[in-house]
Amino acid sequence: MPHKLKSLQLIHILDIKRSKPALKRWGRNLKMVGAGITIVLGMGAFHSHAQNASSTLPVEQVSEVSELKVIATKEDGFGRVILKVVGRNLLPEFSIKQDNSIFVVRFSERLSSSSVTALPRILSDYISIARLDPDGKGIRIAFKEDVRINTMEAGEQLFVDFLPKDWQGLPPALPADVVAELAKRAEEALRLARSLEQADTGSRIQPELDIRIGDHPTFSRIVFGWNIPFDSTFERKGEEVSLFFNHKTDIDLSKVRASLPRLIRDMRLEKDGGKSRFVLTVAGGADVRAFREGNTYIVDVTGDRALFDTARSEDYITRAVSKDGDTGILVAKGMPDPNQPQDLNGLGQAVAKSEPSSGLVLGPGPNGETAKSELFLPDQQVEPARMRPAGETAAPTLPPAALDVTKPASPAMPNAAASADSQSGQQQIIGQQSGNASHGNAERMKGGGADLSSQSLLVETKTFGRSVRLYFPFSAPTAAAVFKKNGVIWAVFDTILELDVSNVRAQLQPIADDVEVWRSGDSAILRIPLKNPRLTTFSTEGYGWLLTIGDLVVEPTKPLHLARTEISGGRAAMRVHFESAGRIIRMRDPGSGEILHVVTGFGPARGFVKVQRLVDFSTLVSAHGIALTEHIDDLQVLRDEDFVYISSNRGLTLSSVGANKKADLSGLVDTDSAIRETFLGLKELQAKTPVIFSKQRQGLERKLSKFDDLMAVQTELALSKLLVANGYAFEALGHLQIMEKSAPEFARGKGFRTLFAATEVFAGRPDEAFRRLNHPEFESDPDASVWLALAAARSGRWREAEEALPRALSVAGDYSDKVRQMLLLDSVEVSVLDQQFTKATAELAEVNPAYLDQEGIARYNLLRGKIAVARNQTSEAHDAFRAAIDTKYLPIANDAWLQDVKLSYQNNEIDNEKAIDELAGLTTIWRGDDVELEALRALAHLYVEKGEYRNAFETSKAAASSDAASDVSRLLQDEMNGVFTSLFLDGKANELPAIKALSLYYDFREMTPVGRRGDEMVRHLADKLVEVDLLDRAAELLSHQVENRLKGAARSQIAADLAVVYLLDSKPNLALDSLRRTRQSQLPRSLERQRRLVEAKALAELNKVTLALDLLKPLDGQDVEQLKADILWRAKRWQETGEQIELMLGDRWVGNSDLDKQEQTNVLRAAVAYSLADDQLGIDRLRKKFAQKMSKTSVAGAFDVVSLPIERGGTQFKAIAQQIAGIDTMERFLDEYRSRYLKKPENAAQSSEAAGDDAQTRPASDTAPADQAGQGNGPNEA
């Protein structure tokens, strides 16, 4: 049969022998190599074998020799050579042989390649000699000693890696873009195979449909019975239920419509090509259930809402797809009665009530079975029971009626217990049919239930450099989750609002294949399939969320961690500390069919920064929230207070923890029941007066001088504590260092190390203190956590400080007022950094300014101002910042100054000029910390807004020289690089004078991006150089591009631009040389035309007029005719010049339109040419045609002089002829060239391979491809 699938097989090969011939070409659509396993998916060459599947053209019969493309690159620690046959989708059959230091690849057919010999030059560290065999069927490479070779075949490419002898670990992997392309091919092949199978089945058996109707006491049923397998789509919109089948039918519905059951008002059939659509009109309050049984599709309609409750299905599922073999049940609930009371969710939005359920996975997979929720105590199902560590006594179980679940009274950020609704312990399930991801539109949940069309959320989007930012402007706190799986970004929001992405698709088109929106119940899901890997950042902005997709991380995600624990029954479980959690949602990935568990949460952004694979589940990388892939059927995810627990009915399969297994007692610290080894009683050692301190110190020093044994150690320890408690930290450090050397055994004790760390904190050495206490031995020690938290905060390690602060604050009351206030301020700052401003306000209220020193008061007011800014309390914020400035404690006062200036500018209290003056003064008097860097960043942004790009770039340089390793410096550098790129690529530099733009580029050329965009920028710069007549510099730039950066058609096009520059510089020989060295066959027609014009102009400049005119013969067009006229004029072939111009003007003498300037000049030139050729008839003819129109122009007198009876010796004629001859034809040629070939520089982004492959099929109107970066990955040279 035509289009019959010839082969569909999966072959698992554990060890590939490279000497084996490749599979037949029609059987190798995909080969993926990885982790020692190769999967070959073979399919028939459907189109090439459609007419005669049994005949295949042998490779040896190919008449023309194909080109073998050889690409060599230096990778990180190894060299890589890529072999690819141009214009072929698959490699020819080949074999590989290695003999000593000789590596040979033999092909089954002859190939040509000019780049093989360049391998030793590019990979000189690995290859000594490389050549192509004389018969063209083999490549021989002599590699150097101590080099190993690894080969991988990927579709039409062969990767050969040269590894050093000391290479360790797995061989290098395939590039990510190659793997993605292979996966895409596999997906397309499977989809095509399925289509062909169904088409083949349908060609043998015509589809027939039988419809049966039953009316039962509690429900009505319609059965659609097919005689062949089918695919279907179920969709409900209000009272209409649509059923889509992938087969065509001509069934007569007249009998069916005459006997419709009571709950079905109408039924009709619509045909769409080879598909059928049945539309059922049902009662508005009726529920609809649909499922499959073999080759039948069953639809039940009921008006009893309790009938389908046992299915535990999700409310308002309105669209789902099913395939052959699926047995899941689809339920579309009826419209809610508007007279029934409604619940409100945490945002004050009305939502329909639904019974708690454990959920039913819709679509393919686990056949609709529901998992028993046994993760928690079975007696308590309305609200999740509290997870208890092993050994903890369970509290009495309350009946469901006794539980009281309250909702937050205000839109302030809720805690974990109050953030979700009354179904916080239940799982919400979204079913999705696995299948081809490219048909995601047929698989989306597009919303349902109540009409929410008036409740939509417009997603705002903005492009910043190469990053795209999506802003979700919620009006109240909304829990969300963002994670990435298989190149797709998922964004899940706990909201009943519809997401309006109408403005998003255009902005995301360069980086994403599509934007998909799903809805189910109270959850909205956004899916963004990316074309290439991108970094994702998710952060809060007010009540809204900001999703950034680009090449840099704007705000790092706080990492979440899995911890081992036990739950009731001694079952193993994993626990994640995740405060302010939202819903727990269970859904199916339509691309892989895997079941995902997603836990949403309120801000700040927290997620898993890497994938963690366990036996029962895997974590996914998330920018915020928790996302898991389940590996077992009964995986259960539930939350309790500030923790999310993961387990199963029998517990998770975890590795043994050995004999040191301990219960988790981190929250049960009894500070009075045991000796606190690391507790430092410094408060009791503080002397009331200096005199008392001096006596105590002298007494200990005298005592110390009398001992040299253990008593001396104890005495010196007591002296050190006394010094620290009274503010002599540096003196205490000296004694502790002596003890560390003289008594090393004693110095290894936890108490001594804690004292040493506390002393380092007071001495301003937080980094050393943090390293001393950052050890598992102190992990659960609250007293050591006091000094660990202080050290982490003062060294900028805020995440570590956040983990230690809860333990430290539990014993803070036992320490001095100074230490306690320091801990409270650190806790406030952590909350501010996490944007938990409600929590920060409560913590700040606990701080007593009476116990603060100058530094503490300054810090207190700075934090108070930042909280006021977040709460939009401008006046209070200004007062707080100015109070911090008045303390004169410069490290914090200058930070307050910066915040005050930014707030004033943001509220338009000061203009751009005033803000620049303020920040310039700040950066002048203060240096060396993050305050300076943040001020420089704000200053650079102000300069950009003002258009002072030079000052902005200079400011970025100053930040890099101050602290190049700082995150602020890196972020500012990335932002200014984006501004620099936008300036020279998006046309903003055209607003600047050419000289200013050029000087700006040359002064900051190190900001030029690497790769294609950098090459494009260099060509823009060359055009600027031509504008200011710096032709040598322009030629130098373009020559570097042609010789080192470009290849293929792109190289030929830029060579034409280079030739034009040489012509402008009166160097036609170099112009011809540039064109001839880059000549190649099968160029796009427009590019071939462009090069011919330039070459003809160069030949004319060398007085090779005949060759130039011959070159222009195949071409036509106004610019070609004009160039011919210019060439003839320059050659003084007057008669031909006049005739050419007259031919070019055509019938312009007819009609009422006036002649333009160029046409007037051409008429004058034709008259002069006829005069110099003594062609009176030509002059008379020209005058008869153009006398009337030329009389209306400013050159009417000149036309009369040159067109009246010939007097070539006259003074007037000579003057006019000299003036016309002085017209610069090169200037006109350049203007024409620019308008036709340089007006769309952005078209220069196509690859040379594409240009070469499409050359034979492109129409003449196609534009030529331009820039394509070469193989080098280094910075661009100018």
In CATH, the number for domain 207-351 is: 2.60.40.3500
E-strand stretches of 542-675: 544-550, 558-559, 562-567, 571-577, 581-588, 595-601, 606-607, 612-613, 617-619, 622-624, 626-630, 636-640, 643-647
Residue-level pLDDT at 81: 92
Written as one letter, the residue type at 1191 is: S
| Tokens (6 digits) for 355 | 């019974």
Residue-level pLDDT at 461: 87
Residue-level pLDDT at 1026: 79
- Across 263-267, 412-416, 594-598, which has the greatest mean pLDDT? 594-598
Residue-level pLDDT at 883: 92
CA dihedral 884, 889, 895, 896 (to 10 degrees): 10
Q: What is the C-alpha to C-alpha distance for residues 917 and 951, in angstroms, rounded to an integer?
A: 13
Q: How far is CA 949 from CA 467, 919, 971, 984, in A?
A: 20, 17, 17, 12
Number of other CB atoms surrounding residue 794 within 10 Å: 18
Residue-level pLDDT at 39: 30
Burial of residue 710, with CB atoms counted within 10 A of its CB: 0-12 exposed, 13-18 middle, 19 or more buried: exposed
Burial of residue 985, with CB atoms counted within 10 A of its CB: 0-12 exposed, 13-18 middle, 19 or more buried: middle
| Tokens (6 digits) for 253 | 């519905």
Q: Is the pLDDT of residue 577 over 60?
A: yes
Q: Nearest Cα to 465, choosing from 554, 551, 536, 535?
A: 551
Q: How far is CA 570 from CA 207, 644, 650, in A?
A: 57, 17, 9
Strands 30-34 and 350-351, sheet pairing = unpaired
Q: Is the pLDDT of residue 420 over 50?
A: no
- Bridge partners of 527, per DSSP, are 490, 516
Give the least confident one: 418-432, 488-502, 651-665.
Answer: 418-432
Q: Is the pLDDT of residue 589 over 70?
A: yes
Q: Nearest Cα to 884, choosing from 902, 876, 898, 896?
A: 896
Report yes or no: 1077 and 1058 within 8 Å, Cβ to Cβ. no
In this prediction, residue 1221 has a pLDDT band, given cuts at 50, 70 and 90, of: low
Give percent above pLDDT 70 in the chain.
74
Q: Is the pLDDT of residue 209 over 50?
A: yes
Q: What is the C-alpha to C-alpha distance for residues 1109 and 199, in angstroms, rounded to an integer?
A: 59
- pLDDT tens-digit map of 1164-1182: 888 888 888 888 888 888 8
Burial of residue 390, with CB atoms counted within 10 A of its CB: 0-12 exposed, 13-18 middle, 19 or more buried: middle
- pLDDT tens-digit map of 473-508: 998 889 999 999 988 999 999 998 888 888 888 888
Task: Return the domain boundaries, the chain.
Answer: 64-173, 207-351, 415-448+455-655, 673-796+803-811, 911-1007
Q: What is the C-alpha to C-alpha distance for residues 345 and 1009, in angstroms, rounded to an integer?
A: 49
DSSP secondary structure code for residue 402 in this structure: G
Please provide the average confidence, as pLDDT, over all residues in the chain.
Answer: 74
- Residue whose pair of structure tokens reads 């009422």 in the numeric block: 1152
Residue-level pLDDT at 865: 92
- pLDDT tens-digit map of 841-869: 888 888 888 888 888 899 899 999 999 99
Written as one letter, the residue type at 860 is: Y
Query: Do the domains 64-173 and 207-351 sit in the same CATH topology, yes or no?
Result: yes
In this prediction, residue 362 has a pLDDT band, given cuts at 50, 70 and 90, of: very low
- Bridge partners of 42, per DSSP, are 9
Residue-level pLDDT at 467: 82
Q: Is the pLDDT of residue 1235 over 70?
A: no
From the options 2.60.40.3470, 3.40.50.460, 2.40.290.10, 3.40.50.10860, give the CATH code of 64-173.
Answer: 2.60.40.3470
Q: What is the C-alpha to C-alpha distance for residues 942 and 902, in angstroms, rounded to an integer?
A: 10
Give the least confident one: 393-407, 925-939, 1229-1243.
Answer: 393-407
In this prediction, residue 675 has a pLDDT band, given cuts at 50, 70 and 90, of: low
1157-1172 and 1196-1203 helices, crossing angle to 10°: 20
Give percent above pLDDT 90 in the chain.
12
- pLDDT tens-digit map of 1044-1090: 877 888 888 888 888 888 888 888 899 888 888 888 877 888 888 88
Residue-level pLDDT at 63: 45
Q: In a 3-state reduction of DSSP, which class is residue 479?
A: coil
Let me know how long the chain is.
1278
Domain 673-796+803-811 is of which CATH architecture? Alpha Horseshoe (1.25)
Q: Is the pLDDT of residue 423 over 60?
A: no
Q: What is the C-alpha to C-alpha distance for residues 1020 and 1042, in angstroms, rounded to an integer?
A: 15
- pLDDT tens-digit map of 1002-1052: 788 788 777 777 777 777 777 778 777 788 888 888 888 888 877 888 888
Residue-level pLDDT at 1213: 61
| Tokens (6 digits) for 471 | 């802003």
Strands 330-332 and 319-322, sheet pairing = unpaired
- pLDDT tens-digit map of 767-782: 999 999 988 888 888 8
Strands 467-472 and 460-464, sheet pairing = antiparallel
Q: In a 3-state reduction of DSSP, which class is residue 611?
A: coil
The arithmetic mean of pLDDT across residues 880-893, rounded, is: 90
- pLDDT tens-digit map of 721-740: 899 888 899 998 998 988 88
Tell me how many helices (H) and strands (E) the chain has: 37, 47
Q: Nearest Cα to 267, choosing from 252, 289, 286, 288?
A: 252
The arithmetic mean of pLDDT across residues 370-382, rounded, is: 31
- pLDDT tens-digit map of 501-551: 888 888 888 888 888 888 777 889 999 998 888 888 898 888 889 999 987
Residue-level pLDDT at 621: 92
Residue-level pLDDT at 514: 85
Q: How far is CA 1109 from CA 673, 702, 1092, 1097, 1231, in A?
A: 105, 110, 10, 10, 21
Q: What is the C-alpha to C-alpha distance for residues 61 and 57, in angstroms, rounded to an integer?
A: 7
Report yes or no: 531 and 438 within 8 Å, Cβ to Cβ. no
DSSP secondary structure code for residue 1140 in this structure: H
Backbone angles phi, psi at 413, to 5 degrees: -60, 115
